[in-house]
């Protein structure tokens, strides 16, 4: 049972049935990180949401090409400096060292959260030629102009033919009144015009020669160039956090329409913000959580550490388009929920159908079928992971009942059992991307068994002694009987 997938399309502001351009192929582009600092939990929320979207699309049979970029040039600070150049200068490093360090961190963190890597992860610097080609075309078609070595997108000109601001629901007058001044640059004709190419100051580390100047590309351009290169002038999904709607995605659409006459993606998906005490988590506000702070609990707002799977579960407990507030209480509750589900996963993985005493119970069979179908209904409803988890919990109750014998296998037929097992494991592992974390301390486990071994020896229960010795040996651990104590070593 699959049913129809509906998504909330931020381009039309409506929930719509999802129809890819060229099924079963789905092209999805998600704006990736600017690699000048460690990713914080807010960034992770957005990337986790798209991980689940990618996973579910695949689960229901789409062949997804997931492209997520790395911004390694062009993203400016409030004072107009390139973020990576600035950090490189501060630390006396090559910009590429900064890029490598934080790309590595990003990949490590994403892998600890069990996310599937994108199929293509292009970087802005690796696509300068494509960006320069787009600028040339935009100038040729009259949508961009050169001014003192920089090139700007001409928003008012574009707006005469098209609608600038449609995605974020603003018109030019609103935007003009919101924009207080020219952001430190007198080169623009209109404060809303945005840079496609920036002339670099002589001491700016990253710069490239073009007919306009020695400079670097504007941030918005990279995503237009790379999404269309890998997914075509029209593609299915474009995603990112809500905060990227304006100006980043608005500018991308204008660049795409200006260059190709088409706006790029058919569906916009935007995730909502992770907040702390109601305030958006962001590095500049100083309220961000890094992975190591979360795992160790070494943060003023935490009174213990939480594992990546607990945090993944915590994030999936809300819909991606709602805000989510991080707190110690919320994480504590998520830990309980995650453990309940993980115990269900552990039991279900081992559980096999068996013949036992009992008669078919149509009501039980019906309930289990409904729970399974509900998982699809929930995910089909704009990827509602929160509801999906609720349905999985209902299945966990059935798993526990089967395990403790309250529910007999004979009451549900083998097909229903298989369907329940398959649906439960696929949704929790493949779709939600959860896994059972093995944070069991093997040292203390071996010590416990060694204690039993000691008791058995003392009681001269040699059958048990041999059994424990053999069981540990099978795990590659050898017990050594010393004169006055027992020790263990790994078998060589
Ligand atoms: P950045 O590296 O700042 O461009 O951010 C990378 C991604 O993280 C973007 O899609 C942002 O929208 C997203 N993001 C940043 N802060 C948050 C937050 N507090 N909650 C959710 N997503 C966020
Ligand atoms: Zn982007």
The predicted-structure confidence for 306-354, as pLDDT tens digits, reads as follows 999 999 999 999 999 999 999 999 999 999 999 999 999 999 999 999 9
Higher pLDDT, 46 or 80: 46
Q: Ligand 2 mean position to 57 CA, how many Å?
A: 21
pLDDT band at 184 (very low <50, low <70, confident <90, very high): low
Confidence at residue 138, expressed as pLDDT on a 0 to 100 scale: 98
pTM: 0.92
Nearest CA to ligand 1 atom 8: 43
Which of 329, 280, 332 is CA-nearest to residue 307?
332
Q: Ligand 2 mean position to 249 CA, how many Å?
A: 7
Q: Which ligand is nearest to the CA of 220?
A: 2
pLDDT band at 282 (very low <50, low <70, confident <90, very high): very high
Calculate mean pLDDT across residues 80-94. Answer: 90
Nearest CA to ligand 1 atom 14: 43
pLDDT in tens, 4-17: 999 999 999 999 99
Calculate mean pLDDT across residues 453-479. Answer: 91
Which of 440-449, 452-461, 466-475 is the least confident region? Answer: 440-449
Higher pLDDT, 179 or 212: 212
Nearest CA to ligand 1 atom 11: 241
Nearest CA to ligand 1 atom 6: 33
Q: Which ligand is nearest to the CA of 33?
A: 1
pLDDT band at 195 (very low <50, low <70, confident <90, very high): very high
CB 481 within 8 A of CB 474: no
Calculate mean pLDDT across residues 202-230. Answer: 96
Q: What is the number of the ligand 1 atom nearest to the C-alpha of 273?
A: 20
> By percentage, how much of the chain surpasses pLDDT 90?
83
Confidence at residue 447, expressed as pLDDT on a 0 to 100 scale: 85
Q: Ligand 2 mean position to 104 CA, how many Å?
A: 20
> Ligand 1 — pocket residues by CB below 6 A?
31, 33-34, 42-43, 45-46, 240-241, 243-244, 271, 273-274, 280-282
């Amino acid at each position: 049972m699959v049913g129809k997938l509906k998504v909330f399309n931020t381009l039309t502001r409506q929930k719509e049935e999802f129809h890819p351009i060229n099924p079963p192929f789905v092209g999805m582009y998600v704006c990736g990180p600017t690699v000048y600092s460690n990713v914080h939990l807010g960034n992770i929320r957005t990337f986790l949401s798209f991980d689940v979207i990618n996973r579910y699309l695949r689960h229901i049979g789409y062949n997804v090409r997931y492209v997520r970029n790395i911004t390694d040039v062009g993203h400016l600070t409030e004072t107009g400096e390139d973020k990576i150049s600035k950090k490189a200068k501060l630390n006396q490093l090559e910009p590429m060292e900064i890029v490598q360090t934080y790309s590595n961190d990003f990949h490590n963190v994403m892998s600890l959260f069990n996310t599937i890597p994108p199929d293509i992860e292009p970087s802005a610097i690796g696509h300068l030629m494509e960006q320069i080609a787009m600028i040339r075309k935009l100038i040729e078609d009259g949508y961009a102009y050169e001014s003192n070595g920089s090139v700007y997108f001409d928003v008012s000109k574009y707006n005469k033919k098209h609608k600038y601001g449609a995605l974020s629901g603003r018109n030019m007058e609103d935007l003009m009144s919101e924009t207080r001044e020219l952001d430190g640059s007198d080169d623009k004709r209109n404060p809303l015009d945005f840079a496609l190419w920036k002339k670099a100051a002589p001491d700016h580390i990253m710069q490239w020669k073009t007919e306009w100047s020695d400079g670097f590309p504007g941030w918005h351009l990279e995503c237009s160039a790379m999404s269309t290169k890998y997914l075509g002038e029209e593609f299915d999904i474009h995603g990112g956090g809500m905060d990227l709607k304006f100006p980043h995605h608005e500018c991308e659409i204008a660049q795409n329409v200006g260059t190709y006459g088409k706006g790029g993606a058919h569906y916009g998906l935007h995730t909502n913000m992770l907040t702390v005490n109601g305030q958006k988590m962001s590095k500049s506000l100083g309220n961000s959580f890094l992975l190591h702070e979360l795992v160790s609990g070494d943060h003023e707002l935490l009174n213990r550490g939480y594992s990546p799977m607990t945090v993944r579960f915590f994030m999936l407990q809300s819909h991606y388009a709602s805000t989510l507030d991080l707190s110690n209480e919320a994480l504590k509750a998520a830990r309980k929920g995650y453990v309940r589900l993980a115990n269900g996963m552990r039991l279900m993985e081992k559980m096999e159908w068996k013949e036992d005493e009992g008669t078919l119970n149509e009501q039980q069979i019906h309930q289990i079928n409904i729970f399974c179908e509900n998982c699809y209904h929930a995910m089909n409803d704009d990827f509602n992971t929160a509801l999906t988890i609720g349905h999985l919990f209902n299945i966990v109750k059935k798993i526990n009942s089967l395990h403790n014998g309250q529910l007999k296998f004979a009451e549900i037929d083998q097909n229903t059992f298989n369907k329940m097992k398959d649906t439960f494991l696929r949704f929790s592992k493949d779709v939600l991307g959860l896994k059972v974390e093995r944070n069991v301390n093997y040292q203390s486990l071996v010590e416990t068994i060694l204690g039993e071994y000691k008791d058995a020896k003392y009681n001269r229960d040699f059958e048990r002694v041999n059994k424990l010795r053999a069981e540990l040996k099978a795990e590659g651990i050898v017990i050594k009987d010393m004169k006055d104590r027992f020790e263990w070593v790994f078998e060589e």
